[in-house]
Chain A
Amino acid sequence: MAGFDKVVTSYADAMHGLEDNMTIIAGGFGLCGIPEGLIAEVKRMGTKELTVVSNNCGVDGFGLGVLLEDTQIKKMVSSYVGENALFEKQLLNGELEVELTPQGTLAERMRAGGAGIPAFYTATGFGTPVGEGKESRQFNGRDYILEEAITGDFAIIKAWKADRYGNCMYRHTAMNFNPMAATAGKITVVEVEEIVETGELEPSQIHTPGIYVDRVIQGSFEKRIERLVTSKGA
């Protein structure tokens, strides 16, 4: 690596520095837009006691679900879990802790973390279990709760294209949480379908500017579909 060139050629280099007890923020919604190879590398490394922040925890045997197999995850911060039996089992026997946070609040907590905003008020969750124990305040007669930003030691991201400087574009709804997650990692690693030469991407079309990105790796993706639904067509 030299200058602004962020490209690494091995998964070991991509996840170098990950240690036990660290926090990983992962992009993705369900199995859509997940950094498959980076997750596989975390599994290979066997790092333990991880806190993982991601909207979901994959399914049995795929996505972040594979990190449950060797009980690598200590705590999961998500809006919706329970698509996997192993998650349920570890939750019930106390091996796994879960912090449920509303989906929009989760996205904003990542965004705030990356943007240097320590906390923000939101009406979401006021008067519910989510608001319990949190500071609340009225603005214009409405009640809001204070939610704190999230940052991670690592952010692992799936993008469509990136140039060598780490400028990223996402494809369709595989964007989801990836842009916010990318801003909130001390070390942000992006796994992409295609690395292009610097200058090839149209500057105004870039979703994640390279300043947020530390490492870029070329991946290959299975892109498993969680719920295939088709119409007959015309």
Chain B
Amino acid sequence: MALTRDQIAMRVAQEFKDGNYVNLGIGIPTLAANYVPKHIEVMLQSENGLLGMGPYPTEDQVDADMINAGKETVTAAPGASIFNSAESFAMIRGGHVDFTVLGAFEVDVSGSIASWMIPGKLIKGMGGAMDLVAGAKNIIVTMTHADKHGNSKLLPACTLPLTGVNCISRIITDLAVLEVKDKAFHLRERAPGVSIEEIIEKTAGKLVIDGDIPEMMIG
């Protein structure tokens, strides 16, 4: 069975190590904050200028001056710091953030990513995504393996305008965990009950399958 959005988020959270600083994009990546293993601590960076993002506020705690990069009201966790946008992107661009997790329209075998613009549709902007993919040490892309018409999003070369080149190391989809290296997608894990054949069928870029591919441990 293909993973749900929450199950993808659960698998993403398993990547984090104790003491990591992590930036989570909007959508599935944000859900990963709910599944950080109990025995480790991670600190969430929000690129509008908050390191140590806490949970959403209670009604009493709501403060218009306290928002996240998705413009939602948030709180600051104990040990948080707040700073300006240049400082925020200095820590991103300077490689101080351990993990960035973000969604994408397409990823290719070179590790290039397209996530911000579909020609012919209204262009809203890249926000901080280009800075994040240019700066983080480890970038994880979360997305469905194929679009709703069944077309693969893992390609020999991206067709849409890029967000960044040669920057993606790991992809977690509803079907598989893949590593990007040596101009190929390397299959590392498959979703429980998903066949290798289905993954092959839905991966348009070069796919390397080495030995037995274990099922993901979810839940």
> Does A204 sit within 8 A of B, measured CB to CB?
no
Q: Which of A30, A108, A171, A173 contacts B86 (CB 8 A)?
A: A108
C-alpha gap A126/B166 in the complex (Å) = 10
C-alpha gap A93/B102 in the complex (Å) = 32
Contacts of A55 in B (CB 8 A): 85
Structural contact, B71 and A227, CB atoms closer than 8 A: yes
Structural contact, B70 and A227, CB atoms closer than 8 A: yes
Structural contact, A123 and B135, CB atoms closer than 8 A: yes
* A-contact 0/1 string along B100-143, CB 8 Å cutoff: 00000000000010000100001111111111001100000000
> Does A88 sit within 8 A of B, measured CB to CB?
yes
Structural contact, A103 and B71, CB atoms closer than 8 A: no
Contacts of B89 in A (CB 8 A): 103-105, 107-108
> Does B64 sit within 8 A of A, measured CB to CB?
yes
> Does A138 sit within 8 A of B, measured CB to CB?
no
* B-contact 0/1 string along A153-180, CB 8 Å cutoff: 0000000100000000011111111111
Segment from B5-13, B46-54, B201-209, B211-219 that makes contact with A: B46-54
Structural contact, B55 and A103, CB atoms closer than 8 A: no
Structural contact, B126 and A100, CB atoms closer than 8 A: yes
Structural contact, B66 and A177, CB atoms closer than 8 A: no
C-alpha gap A123/B162 in the complex (Å) = 13
Contacts of A90 in B (CB 8 A): none
Segment from A2-10, A37-45, A79-87 that makes contact with B: A79-87
> Does A18 sit within 8 A of B, measured CB to CB?
no
Q: B210 to chain A: closest CB distance in Å?
A: 29
* A-contact 0/1 string along B140-184, CB 8 Å cutoff: 000000000000000000000111110000000000000000000
Q: Which of B57, B68, B134 contacts A122 (CB 8 A)?
A: B134
Q: B112 to chain A: closest CB distance in Å?
A: 7
Q: Which of B85, B86, B124 contacts A80 (CB 8 A)?
A: B124
Sort chain A's interface into a size bin.
35 or more
Q: In the complex where A81-B125, A104-B128 touch, is A228 in contact with B73 (Cβ < 8 A)?
A: yes
Contacts of A232 in B (CB 8 A): 58
C-alpha gap A180/B86 in the complex (Å) = 7
The binding surface of chain A is classed by DSSP as loop
Structural contact, A129 and B66, CB atoms closer than 8 A: no
Q: Which of A78, A102, A175 contacts B83 (CB 8 A)?
A: A175
> Does A226 sit within 8 A of B, measured CB to CB?
yes
C-alpha gap A225/B59 in the complex (Å) = 13
> Does B198 sit within 8 A of A, measured CB to CB?
no
Q: B78 to chain A: closest CB distance in Å?
A: 15
Q: Which of A111, A180, A231 contacts B56 (CB 8 A)?
A: A231
* A-contact 0/1 string along B70-81, CB 8 Å cutoff: 111110100000
Contacts of A176 in B (CB 8 A): 48-49, 84-85
Contacts of A110 in B (CB 8 A): 86
Structural contact, A80 and B67, CB atoms closer than 8 A: no
Q: Which of A91, A103, A124, A231 contacts B85 (CB 8 A)?
A: A103
Structural contact, B56 and A172, CB atoms closer than 8 A: no
Q: Residue of B at shortest CB range from A143? A: B165
Q: Residue of A at shortest CB range from B46? A: A173
Contacts of B50 in A (CB 8 A): 173
Question: Can you report 8 residue pairs joining A to B where beta carbons are below 8 Å apart?
Answer: A78-B125, A104-B89, A111-B86, A128-B165, A129-B161, A225-B62, A227-B71, A228-B73
Tell me the A residues contacting B by CB distance below 8 Å: 29-33, 55, 78-82, 88, 91-92, 100, 102-108, 110-111, 122-130, 160, 170-180, 207, 223-233
Tell me the B residues contacting A by CB distance below 8 Å: 46-50, 55-60, 62-68, 70-74, 76, 82-86, 88-89, 92-93, 112, 117, 122-131, 134-135, 161-165
Q: Which 9 A-B pairs have the closest CB atoms?
A: A104-B89, A104-B131, A82-B124, A233-B58, A127-B165, A223-B64, A80-B125, A107-B85, A103-B128
**With A125-B134, A173-B82, A180-B84 given, can you name 9 additional A-B contacts, CB distance below 8 Å?**
A32-B71, A106-B85, A124-B135, A172-B65, A173-B49, A173-B67, A174-B64, A175-B49, A230-B62
